[in-house]
Structure 1
Amino acid sequence: MGMNHEHIKLTASEMSVLWTSYLNDTLGVCTISYFLNHVEDPDVRAVLEYALDLSKKHIEVIRQIFSNEKIPIPLGFTEQDVNVNAKRLFSDSFMLYYIQNMGSAGINSYSVALPVSSRMDIREYYTSCLESSAELFNRTSNVMQEKGLFIRAPYIPYPNQAKFVHKQHFLAGWFGEQRPLTSIEISFLFFNLYRNTLGTALLTGFSQVAQSKEVRQYMIRGAEIAKHHSAVFTKILSQDNILSPMTSEILPETSKEPPFSEKLMMFHTAALTNSGMGYYGASMGGSTRKDLAASYSRLMIEVAEFSLDGANIMIDNGWFEEPPSAPNRKDLAKG
């Protein structure tokens, strides 16, 4: 018997990562097209153009895969979801932080998508996505460093020898003397603070341009949560006298003219919220001080409640596109 050359179908995990990628890339095209219409700095424009080109290429590849498999192409986001001529809402500096974060989020999501893919063409696609996300992150970081906008994680003195922990006190964190933060804990605290600062700026912008009261209030609440979480991380760092440098250059302009549909802003917020929960989970796993783990679990609950309320708003308004799902065996049994 020769090899079986039957067509290999997509697995559920391949379908799910491609479907999610498609929605995220169509969202990317909308937001970046709007940014490109307002950007002034040529260096920032070059980075935006590279990011837009990546998203457009990704959309083409996924459309091709879906049509070959006869899977309906998701609607995602289209020209109906963006008004590129709306007044400027975000500064060039914000655009840089946004794109740098997009590169970083891409590296994160593609490093999850690649190991759950089995078909060779899908693996090759996600390998190239990983490379181009790293390139996007590096290009943006270089521009930010040239412009003095890059925010570095805090510095601590180098250790002078390798050491092992000999006291359980290392895990303590409730009463009495807390041990100083490890470099791993500092890194998690800093990057969670960084993402929340960006989140505050984005959701503040969204709250200004949201048309419905429900979406506006949701965005205000999201910005408040992000502000509160930033304050928690800043406080923990400052207890160890670690300064957390942040920028005020990313706050939105005063425009109230909506560049984006409510559906797009809600989805964008959901995507940020979900990735934020993932980062908190990882941070919890990497922080051995009990008080830190407790803080993360408390913040995660708050984010989960916010996320659930957002999903309800999206479902009520018919904005929640359903991912490919398993057949309902109960319905099938009824015949």
Structure 2
Amino acid sequence: MTSTSSSLSSIEMSQLWGSYINDSALLCQLSHFSVHTDDEKIKALLLKCCELSKGHLKTLKELFDKEQFAVPYGFKVNEDCYLTSSRLYTDSFYLTYILHMSRIALQTYSLSLSYSSRADIFSYFSECINETGELLRTVTALLMERGEYVKPPEIPVPTTKGYVEGQHSLSGFIGKKRSLTVIEISQLFANFERNQLGMKVMTSFLQVSKDPEVKKLMNRGIEIATKHCDILENKLIENHLPAPISSDVGITESTEPTFSEKLMTFYTSSLIGLSVGYYGQALGVSPRRDLGINYDRLIHELLLFSEDAAQLMIKKEWLEQPPIAPDRDKLIHE
């Protein structure tokens, strides 16, 4: 990366620190995936993903060392991933997981890039976007080739244009409801898909976890994700749109420990945080009142669940401290 003498901003610190944590966690999952597939194309893709994560971690560590920035502990393959355990997921799961992680990463990297003022940080996130875009293209093509890509609902192409007329376009409880816009459809569909994947992930974690408190958390997460899938799916069906059809995303019958309890709880907490953000985004672009009320309720439920997950991680000493601003009041009174 291009060198620079300016100091890191708080946002750059935040994005770099988070990137290191996420890549270290993802590498643990991808490493296990890569040793448990016989499909040559999928193995090649998984190994490529591993190399990308390793490259990111190496670059980030070098940058942290140069800045005298404490390298996050994150996750370690030899501590948080049990490569010799039995296979936990099917090939279809691997591809669907990479698809969603690529989509999430592209959004995260775009935000990181937009707030990067230093040339070397800008260059790093720009490269990450290019790599992830190519990865998304590859996994999408592979899913389509296998007939496993789940397409969003289709509606006729508009042949006219105009402006919204009447307040009924905002209604959703009383009187005639207007049809959903493509923006609202896309949010319902995308949030349904993410909840469905989250439900599968937590089910797999519940299956292999040996910690009663972690199992309790996963059980609750599955119940919430199932409920949210039903709500989102019903909104599509009510509007005479096809309900999303799940691809063959599968979990094996293995009950052997596959990932550390810490890693599984971290991923569950991360999924909660992502869902809150995506629901907030959906709330902002869904003017129909019934949709807004639904998203508001779902967010509130997730925030309560998020607090429980955070409390468990703190209790187990699994929640790593992000960079924090100096406590000026404490310093003044010392």
Q: What TM-score comes out, normalization by structure 2 length?
A: 0.97
Residue pair 2:189, 2:244 contacting (<8 A) in 1 also: no
Counterpart of 2:267 in structure 1 is 268
Q: Structure 2 matches for 1:1-335, cutoff 5 A?
A: 7-78=5-76, 79-247=78-246, 249-335=248-334
d(CA) in 2 for partners of 1:138, 1:219: 32
Residue pair 1:27, 1:264 contacting (<8 A) in 2 also: yes
d(CA) in 1 for partners of 2:116, 2:192: 32
Residue pair 2:26, 2:53 contacting (<8 A) in 1 also: yes
d(CA) in 2 for partners of 1:159, 1:249: 33
How far apart are 1:330 and its partner, in Å?
2.2
Cα deviation digits, residues 89-142 of structure 1 (max 9, x gap): 111100100011111011010011111111110001001111111111111000
Residue pair 2:286, 2:292 contacting (<8 A) in 1 also: yes
d(CA) in 1 for partners of 2:41, 2:196: 23
One-letter code aligned to 2:248:
E
d(CA) in 1 for partners of 2:240, 2:39: 36
Residue pair 2:149, 2:247 contacting (<8 A) in 1 also: no
Cα deviation digits, residues 148-168 of structure 1 (max 9, x gap): 000000001111211211111
Residues 241 and 321 of structure 1, relative CA distance in 2, 3 Å threshold: same
How far apart are 1:8 and its partner, in Å?
1.0
Residue pair 1:153, 1:244 contacting (<8 A) in 2 also: no
One-letter code aligned to 1:313:
L
One-letter code aligned to 2:217:
Y
Q: Considering only aligned residues, what root-mean-square deviation do their CA atoms show, in Å?
A: 1.2
d(CA) in 2 for partners of 1:169, 1:219: 41
d(CA) in 1 for partners of 2:247, 2:6: 51
How far apart are 1:252 and its partner, in Å?
1.5
One-letter code aligned to 1:180:
S
How far apart are 1:30 and its partner, in Å?
0.3
How far apart are 1:6 and its partner, in Å?
8.7
d(CA) in 2 for partners of 1:246, 1:23: 33
Unaligned runs of 5+ in 2: none
Residue pair 2:109, 2:129 contacting (<8 A) in 1 also: yes
One-letter code aligned to 2:111:
V
One-letter code aligned to 1:249:
D
One-letter code aligned to 1:321:
E
How far apart are 1:286 and its partner, in Å?
0.8
SS, match of residue 150 in structure 2 = coil
Unaligned runs of 5+ in 1: none
Cα deviation digits, residues 214-260 of structure 1 (max 9, x gap): 10010111111111111101100001111123226223112111110
SS, match of residue 44 in structure 2 = helix
SS, match of residue 114 in structure 2 = coil
Residue pair 1:194, 1:246 contacting (<8 A) in 2 also: no
Percentage of identical aligned residues:
39
d(CA) in 1 for partners of 2:268, 2:135: 22
Cα deviation digits, residues 183-223 of structure 1 (max 9, x gap): 11011000100111101100000011111111001011111
Residue pair 2:33, 2:94 contacting (<8 A) in 1 also: yes
d(CA) in 2 for partners of 1:248, 1:310: 29
Residue pair 2:24, 2:75 contacting (<8 A) in 1 also: yes
d(CA) in 2 for partners of 1:51, 1:107: 14
One-letter code aligned to 2:12:
E
One-letter code aligned to 1:74:
P
One-letter code aligned to 1:163:
G
One-letter code aligned to 1:9:
S
One-letter code aligned to 1:282:
Q
d(CA) in 2 for partners of 1:244, 1:41: 30
d(CA) in 2 for partners of 1:216, 1:133: 33
Tell me which stretches of 4 or more aligned residues in structure 1 moved more than 4 Å. Answer: none
d(CA) in 2 for partners of 1:248, 1:201: 12
SS, match of residue 5 in structure 2 = coil
SS, match of residue 114 in structure 1 = helix
Residues 6 and 191 of structure 1, relative CA distance in 2, 3 Å threshold: closer
Residue pair 1:208, 1:255 contacting (<8 A) in 2 also: yes
